[in-house]
A and B are shown apart, each in its own frame.
Chain A
Amino acid sequence: MIEFKNISKSFSSKDILNNISFKIKTGESVAIIGQSGEGKSVLLKHFNGLMMPDSGQVIIDKKIINELSFSDLQLVRKNMSMVFQFGALFDSLSIKDNILISLDNNTSLDTDEKEKRVIESLDLVNLSHIDHLYLNDLSGGMKKRVGISRAISIRPTYILYDEPTTGLDPINTGKIIKLMQSIKNSKKITSIIVTHEMKIVNEFVSRVIMLKNGNIIFDGSPKDLNSSKDKYIKSFILGKE
């Protein structure tokens, strides 16, 4: 269970998040949408403490994460993975080592179990045959898949996706959505996705939170979003001014 209580955040006197509150139940899939610069990624980084609010509380499994010590926060992060917009994979490491670094730090598996887990995680994204390659040898879509593979390898309870399909062609976008779908169904993971992609909203999530000027202007199902009469929401969905 995740709860955001009156979260506010500003940068250089510009308000990005303005007294935001919501709850996310375990197992729920939630999309955070809004125009560029509305603070979606900033909001997402509050879930795992990569950013801390100026005021308010972020509560995850009854722990107020913005009041935790660094070591306690690290314990919370062991149950929470993040897929970054451009992968954020370590270019000095091979694909396999990118996943191993996550397992080394977040699990107590022995060497053989870790090797097995790497193969399992890469199998899920159909990349186990190229685990020895480095990032320079991969396409954008492959990097995203490795990022997802790294995220799921630790068997998290929560998974955060920051624009997982940005920069991908429609075929790769479809592959990523299918992959996210299969992870959600098989592992019962709570998924929070920052996206502009209406395909993700319509096919993947059960709930949508829309941000504008640092406030939540919509919180409901994708069906309700699509049938909204609000001019701003309509223009966002249709991609027209």
Chain B
Amino acid sequence: MYSLLKYPLKKIISLFEEFGKFIMLIVNVFRSYSSWPVYFSNSIDQMIIIGTKSIPIVILTSFFTGMVSSVQAGYQMESSITPKWIIGSLVGETMLLELAPVITSLVLAGRIGATIAAELGTMRVTEQIDALESLSLDPIAYLVFPRVLAGFIMFPVLIIIADVFGISGGVFAAATSLDIDTYQFMKGFKTWFKPWDAWYGIIKGLSFGMAITSISCFYGFYTKGGAAGVGKSTTSSVVVSCVAIMLLDYILAALLL
């Protein structure tokens, strides 16, 4: 009986230990505030890696997501009693509230999360993080702070880009597949649009950006072992980031809508 319970108990304890370690990492990021100005230039580099270089993939995924949601909305609203402009309302609202922030963040959890975890993990196993410490640098301020800050600033920007291109995709698909012109689509979009919906998406972007970058930094920073350890950290960072996005998505919806 004891051995049956031992494994799940050990897992639960290690889960709590990991969570405690994660919280300590975040606390240490804030504790290193005196070094932030020194490493601010690193944040600019990270903003380019996390933000600017993600723009093509964000445009691509959001445009197609908008197109698909437009076609699917048209399929579900085939009845002659529903006005055609309602497609614009549906696509606009789903893009702003859910699809743009969530799909973009899930895609970026793979792109950004994996990059950060692999980079920091490799630095850990090749003793570069130890070297930073031995050179009297604060590795948390030098490595973690710029990435988390870049995620915090750039994710909302990427969400806004995803909103614009998602709705554009919806307009394009509505015009080409559903015979709904841009005027009708935009009429529907404006009918249900509330500025808060756009803000809500941006708030989601802030939280998801923080979550993805901090989780990936955590797994990368505490990598153990060699190449296998880096692989494990990379996988864990992507999986946990995706789960965190879903969890935060629900929490934010319950709190803010």
Query: Quick check: A78 and B136 within 8 Å, CB to CB?
Result: yes
B131 on interface, CB distance cutoff 8 Å: yes
**Alpha-carbon distance between A82 and B138 when the two chains are bound, in angstroms:** 16
Q: Is the CB of B134 within 8 A of A50?
A: yes
Asked if B18 lies at the interface with its beta carbon under 8 angstroms from chain A, I say: no
- A101 at the binding interface (Cβ < 8 Å): yes
- Verify B136–A70 contact, CB threshold 8 A: no
Docked-complex contact B131 and A105, CB < 8 angstroms: no
Q: Which residues of B contact A89 (CB under 8 A)?
A: 128, 131
Q: How far is the CB of A22 from chain B (nearest CB, A)?
A: 21
A-facing mask of B92-128, CB < 8 A → 1, else 0? 0000000000000000000000000000000000111
B81 proximal to A (CB < 8 A): no
A77 CB within 8 Å of chain B:
yes
In the docked arrangement, what's the CA distance between A86 and B127, Å? 8
What DSSP secondary structure best describes chain B's contact surface?
loop
Q: Please name all residues of chain B whose beta carbon is closer than 8 Å to the beta carbon of A80 when the two chains form the complex.
A: 134
CB of A50 within 8 A of CB of B130, answer yes
- List, in ascending order, chain B residues with CB within 8 A of A101's CB: 135, 137
A48-B134 in contact given A84-B127, A85-B127, A86-B126 (Cβ < 8 Å): yes
The interface residues of chain A lying within 8 Å CB-to-CB of B130 are 45, 50, 82, 84, 88
Interface status of A173 (Cβ within 8 A of chain B) = no
CB-nearest residue of chain A to B34: A71
Which residue of chain B has the shortest Cβ distance to A75 in the bound complex?
Answer: B136
Number of interface residues of B (CB under 8 A): 11
Question: How near does chain B come to A195, taking the closest CB pair, in angstroms?
Answer: 17
B78 at the interface (CB under 8 A from A): no
Which residues of B have CB within 8 Å of A77?
A: 133-136
Chain A residues, Cβ within 8 Å of B136: 74-75, 77-78, 105-106
Q: Which residues of A contact B138 (CB under 8 A)?
A: 70, 74
Chain B nearest CB: distance from A31 CB in Å?
A: 20
Q: Out of B126, B128, B133, name the residue touching A50 (CB < 8 Å).
A: B133
User: Does A236 sit at the interface, judged by CB under 8 A?
Assistant: no
* Smallest beta-carbon distance B14→chain A, Å: 12
Q: Report chain B residues within 8 Å CB of A48.
A: 133-134
Instruction: Give the dominant DSSP class at A's interface.
Output: mixed
Q: How far is the CA of A202 from the CA of B171 in the complex (A)?
A: 79
A88, A102, A105: the one contacting B127 at CB < 8 Å is A88
Q: Smallest Cβ distance from A91 to chain B, in angstroms?
A: 8
Docked-complex contact B126 and A102, CB < 8 angstroms: no
A90: Cβ under 8 A from any B Cβ: yes
In the docked arrangement, what's the CA distance between A82 and B130, Å?
10
Name the residue on B nearest A90 (C-beta).
B128
CB pair B135–A105 under 8 Å, yes or no, is: yes
Residues of the B chain whose Cβ atoms lie less than 8 Å from the Cβ of A82: 130-131, 134
Q: Which residues of A contact B128 (CB under 8 A)?
A: 88-91
* B residues 119-161 touching A (CB-CB < 8 Å): 126-128, 130-131, 133-138
Q: How far is the CA of A80 from the CA of B137 in the complex (A)?
A: 13
Q: Is A66 an interface residue (CB 8 A)?
A: no
CB-based contact B135/A102 at 8 Å: yes
Q: For chain A residues 61-112, which have a beta carbon within 8 Å of chain B?
A: 70, 74-75, 77-78, 80-82, 84-86, 88-91, 101-102, 105-106
Give B contacts to A, CB under 8 Å.
126-128, 130-131, 133-138
28 A-B residue contacts at CB 8 Å?
A48-B133, A48-B134, A50-B130, A50-B133, A50-B134, A70-B138, A74-B136, A75-B136, A77-B133, A77-B135, A78-B136, A80-B134, A81-B134, A82-B130, A82-B134, A84-B127, A84-B130, A84-B131, A86-B127, A88-B126, A88-B128, A88-B130, A90-B128, A101-B135, A101-B137, A102-B135, A105-B136, A106-B135
Beyond A84-B130, A88-B128, list 17 extra A-B contacts (CB 8 Å): A48-B133, A48-B134, A50-B134, A70-B138, A74-B136, A77-B133, A77-B134, A77-B135, A77-B136, A78-B136, A88-B127, A88-B131, A89-B128, A101-B137, A105-B135, A105-B136, A150-B135
Lowest 10 CB-CB distances: which A-B pairs, in order? A88-B131, A88-B127, A74-B136, A82-B134, A77-B136, A84-B127, A102-B135, A88-B128, A50-B130, A105-B136
